[in-house]
Chains A and B, each alone.
Chain A
Amino acid sequence: MTVTDPAPAAHEIGDRVVLEAANVTMRFGGLTAVGDVSMRVHDGEIVGLIGPNGAGKTTFFNCLTGMYIPTEGRVTLAGEQLPPKPLKVVRAGMARTFQNIRLFGNMTALENVMVGRYCRTSSMALTSVLRGPKFRREESATRERAQELLDYVGLGKSTELLARNLPYGDQRRLEIARALATDPQILLLDEPTAGMNPKETEETMHLIFKIRDSGLAVVVIEHDMRFIFNLCDRVLCLVRGSVLVEGTPGEVQSDPRVIEAYIGGDDADEEEDA
């Protein structure tokens, strides 16, 4: 299988900083899971987060999305500081997917995406019972947008299937569609290709490019090195909670410290992918 390298100048990275994490630190008791990590993501940029297992990548994501309250540091989205509440983070325009897929298994694919629209719609209990024209308009707009997003990620035909019955790769894509439904400015993907076969991985890569081209910034955690180095504009390597190396894929790939972190660590098997 060949993976097409994106031409470096194929797209423009904007000047505007979408997401800025400044000195984020997360301690659990005596354990520092994330120590003083700073990261900037610009418009239309794909940033990769790599690192051996337990390096604190997902914890960092949780700090960004307000699921954890960082011990120190702050997160700003488009210039505004984010409160550590998932609800407000989503409203501000940051959406995420999960490492272990967390779909609403007993809802259909369409309903899953429609739940994603929740924070961008407003009908409350009374309007839902009365069903005025405004409610119906909003409901059909929600449905339409959800269907659009399903088509966008390539699940247009699985609309009415229960999420739990979807094939694994489709579940990951459904999670992306659900996250996109919240109209984010930036998308955080936690291992979007875990468990996928090479073909699905390639499809996912094209999907992420497509999302990037629509103007979103993307941050990706991934163990698949080929995937990450082909996809990202910039890569951060986290080791034991702090940034070891930051740079272009080429720089990070050839950095001896990264290789050592992987080979020298207990995750030698990860090297096979690189």
Chain B
Amino acid sequence: MSTNTALPDVLDDSDVSRRDRLREQHGAKAPLLALAGGVLLLVSGLLSWSYDDRILGDISIRFYPAGIQIYAMVLGLVAVVLGVLLRRRPGWLNPGRGLAAVGWGSLVFVVVALVTIARQAGGSININEGGWVALVGALLVFAAGFVAQRFELNVRTWPRLPGWAEILVIVVLMAVLLFTTAYTLGLDDSWTFVCLLVTLLSVAIALVGSGFGEYVGFVGGNNRRVLLLAAFLVAFLFPFTQDGSDANMSIATQILIFAATALGLNIVVGLAGLLDLGYIAFLGTGAYVGAMLSQSTFATIGWKPPFLVVMLCGMAVASTFGLIIGSPTLRVSGDYLAIVTLGFGEIFRLAMFNLDGTNGPDLTNGPNGIPAIPDLNFFGWDFGKVHTVAGIPLGRFSNYYFLLLLLIAFVILVFSRLNDSRIGRGWVAIREDERAAEAMGVNVFGLKLLAFAIGAALAGLAGTIKAHQDTSVTPDQYIFLESAFLLAAVVLGGMGTVAGVLVGATILKLLPEKLRDAADYRLLLFGLLLVIMMRFRPEGLVASKRRQLEFHEDDEELVQLAQTEHLEEAK
């Protein structure tokens, strides 16, 4: 048995060298394979995939691509483009890695599609020629990705376009983003959605892996303001793509509230490094304040101030709770802090459950909560009514969506400005080494409290809007699981980044809505997703450079790269 211990190493070595040898021998064939596979995928889009016209949208008609046929064509197109690029070898791209991603993606995509057709139609006999052609194409692209040579990207210089062209790149990118989002949300069929997700994911990974992502980052860095503006414009335009339907807008508003709260949590966890497992309580505090001070006939407090005052009250009360909870708990750190905050989260829920008049003052109506909270009304703009702007009707959720967009802009502003300031540096220093921070004159306890208070205030603010949007507030909305999901959004997306948390929040809220078929396995799938993430990308989907280096210390290449980049910037 003693030889067993040495075995994995040996295997690893030979594995790597075998792959290298394979790439050396057959690397030259990769562009051709990619081209052939890509063309087959493109052709398959024009062919019929199934006899049955009710599966995965209608994919039974020839020369009229729809649904997953279009996805296959997109994958094919990307494969062809990468194949051509692989042949021409531009110094600033690494098409080989992109091809690998597209190869995996198209293989998974085609297999999922074919299995779905076979399962729903009762046997693989129902798969038409298009499906088989696509399978062959996917296999070829996969092979191409496997043998394609990887280039070292030593040259860190991208072709510089004139200013207007760079802005055009951003605009086109954002337009694609808007269109894709609207399209994705428009899908009803779970399995079509899965296929699209695989397609989008593999294309995204391919673009990032081959170096396009960095180029976009470079262009975005040159035009930061334009990028920000364009992103908000896209978000602003989104309701206009929905034709007055509120179904997706309802999901979108939920995502925004969730994201705003997660961004608040990101200050506490991502910047200051304090693990808070009861964060949902602050959202709850805000929601209850919003409900109690609302026009609802069930509101328990007589005072009914205008909503702006309510928002301020929500922030104030939540941050006061943050201070009250924080001042004793922040004396412990690490695991202990996590457990104590978890406890406080539960205490909040139980307190709200019991403040029903029999066990204490009647503030929350106990388990019944505060229902019938009326819609907001800003200067005559009734949030409950449908408004028509430029011929496009905007329903109730669209109205809230615009308000929440403002909220999230505010939260992002607070987050990013705090991050890049004396306070933010203090937080990161505490996260890095508490004792050293203290010895350098950083007010550790004060800053931790501040992080708690600001995080709580932002969640409270989001809560006041949530109360109106949900029209009722009950204690069971604020269970521990919600705190866990918030934390998952932060970890999944990337701690300490804005974009990451937005992505994480979107994934965690959007997937359950769209994958209704898998609703029973929701928690299992999330757990799996987190485990996979922690194994392959512990720094989160969108990583700050800091976190990336933290987790991939051994990756010499990355460290070198970061250093040369820094040096170039310094010059």
Closest to B418 in A: A128
B268-327 residues at the A interface, CB under 8 angstroms: none
Can you list, as one digit per residue, whether each of B436-469 has a CB less than 8 Å from chain A (1) or not (0)?
Answer: 1111111110000010001000000000000000
B421 to chain A, nearest CB (A): 4
Query: Total A-B pairs in contact (CB under 8 Å)?
Result: 121
Assess whether B134 is interfacial by the CB under 8 Å rule.
no
Which residues from chain A contact B559 at a C-beta distance below 8 Å? 165
Assess whether B429 is interfacial by the CB under 8 Å rule.
yes
Assess whether A58 is interfacial by the CB under 8 Å rule.
no
Can you list, as one digit per residue, whether each of B534-557 has a CB less than 8 Å from chain A (1) or not (0)?
Answer: 000000000000110110010000
Complex formed: what's the CA distance from A121 to B562 in Å?
A: 30
Complex formed: what's the CA distance from A102 to B435 in Å?
A: 9
A125 close to B546 (CB less than 8 A): no
**Contacts A116-B440, A118-B425, A118-B440; is A160 near B566 (CB within 8 Å)?**
yes
Which residues from chain A contact B424 at a C-beta distance below 8 Å? 128
Partner of B440, one of A125, A165, A178: A178
Assess whether A218 is interfacial by the CB under 8 Å rule.
no
A6 to chain B, nearest CB (A): 29
Partner of A90, one of B433, B440, B450: B440
B418 close to A96 (CB less than 8 A): no
Which residues from chain B contact A115 at a C-beta distance below 8 Å? 425-426, 429, 437, 440, 442
B440 close to A106 (CB less than 8 A): no
**Contacts A107-B546, A114-B425; is A161 near B440 (CB within 8 Å)?**
no
**Contacts A115-B437, A116-B441, A161-B563; is A123 near B422 (CB within 8 Å)?**
yes
Assess whether A131 is interfacial by the CB under 8 Å rule.
yes
Closest to B414 in A: A129
Which residues from chain A contact B454 at a C-beta distance below 8 Å? 125
Which residues from chain B contact A160 at a C-beta distance below 8 Å? 566-567, 569-570
B546 close to A87 (CB less than 8 A): no
**Contacts A102-B436, A103-B436; is A121 near B422 (CB within 8 Å)?**
yes
A131 close to B417 (CB less than 8 A): yes
Assess whether A206 is interfacial by the CB under 8 Å rule.
no
Complex formed: what's the CA distance from A87 to B434 in Å?
A: 12
A117 to chain B, nearest CB (A): 8
Partner of B562, one of A111, A124, A162: A162
* Residue among A95, A117, A128, A135 with most chain B CB within 10 A: A128
Assess whether B413 is interfacial by the CB under 8 Å rule.
yes
Closest to B548 in A: A106
Partner of A125, one of B423, B429, B547, B570: B423
Assess whether B362 is interfacial by the CB under 8 Å rule.
no
Closest to B568 in A: A160
Which residues from chain A contact B438 at a C-beta distance below 8 Å? 67, 86-87
Closest to A162 in B: B549
Which residues from chain A contact B547 at a C-beta distance below 8 Å? 106
A145 to chain B, nearest CB (A): 13
Which residues from chain B contact A91 at a C-beta distance below 8 Å? 441
Which residues from chain B contact A76 at a C-beta distance below 8 Å? none
Partner of A107, one of B418, B422, B428, B570: B428
* Residue among B418, B428, B432, B438 with most chain A CB within 10 A: B432
Which residues from chain B contact A139 at a C-beta distance below 8 Å? 421-422
Partner of A118, one of B413, B414, B426, B549: B426
B441 close to A102 (CB less than 8 A): no
Closest to B416 in A: A129
B443 close to A104 (CB less than 8 A): no
Complex formed: what's the CA distance from A117 to B429 in Å?
A: 12
Which residues from chain B contact A108 at a C-beta distance below 8 Å? 566
A123 close to B440 (CB less than 8 A): no
Partner of B450, one of A107, A125, A157, A162: A125
Complex formed: what's the CA distance from A164 to B559 in Å?
A: 10
Complex formed: what's the CA distance from A118 to B413 in Å?
A: 22
* Residue among A86, A91, A157 with most chain B CB within 10 A: A86
Which residues from chain B contact A114 at a C-beta distance below 8 Å? 422, 425
A157 close to B570 (CB less than 8 A): yes
B441 close to A162 (CB less than 8 A): no
Which residues from chain B contact A120 at a C-beta distance below 8 Å? 441
B432 close to A105 (CB less than 8 A): yes
Which residues from chain A contact B439 at a C-beta distance below 8 Å? 65, 67, 86, 90, 96, 98, 102
Complex formed: what's the CA distance from A160 to B565 in Å?
A: 9
A119 close to B442 (CB less than 8 A): yes
B225 to chain A, nearest CB (A): 15
B428 close to A104 (CB less than 8 A): yes
A106 close to B546 (CB less than 8 A): yes
A98 close to B436 (CB less than 8 A): yes
* Residue among B425, B437, B441, B546 with most chain A CB within 10 A: B441
A180 to chain B, nearest CB (A): 11
Complex formed: what's the CA distance from A182 to B417 in Å?
A: 24
Partner of B435, one of A67, A95, A121, A179: A67
6 A-B pairs with least C-beta separation:
A119-B441, A90-B441, A128-B421, A104-B432, A102-B436, A160-B566
Tell me the B residues contacting A by CB distance below 8 Å. 413-414, 417-418, 421-426, 428-429, 432-433, 435-444, 450, 454, 546-547, 549-550, 553, 559, 562-563, 566-567, 569-570
- Since A107-B432, A120-B441 are in contact, a sample of 13 more A-B pairs with Cβ atoms closer than 8 Å, ordered by chain A residue number, is A67-B435, A87-B442, A91-B441, A96-B439, A104-B428, A106-B428, A106-B550, A118-B429, A118-B440, A128-B422, A129-B418, A139-B422, A165-B563
A–B complex contacts, Cβ < 8 Å, 27 sampled: A65-B439, A67-B435, A67-B438, A67-B439, A86-B441, A102-B433, A103-B433, A105-B433, A107-B425, A114-B422, A115-B426, A116-B440, A118-B425, A119-B441, A119-B442, A120-B441, A125-B454, A128-B423, A129-B413, A129-B417, A135-B421, A160-B570, A162-B546, A164-B553, A179-B440, A182-B440, A182-B441
Tell me the A residues contacting B by CB distance below 8 Å. 65, 67, 86-87, 90-91, 95-96, 98, 102-108, 111, 114-121, 123-125, 128-129, 131, 135, 138-139, 142, 157, 159-162, 164-165, 178-179, 181-182
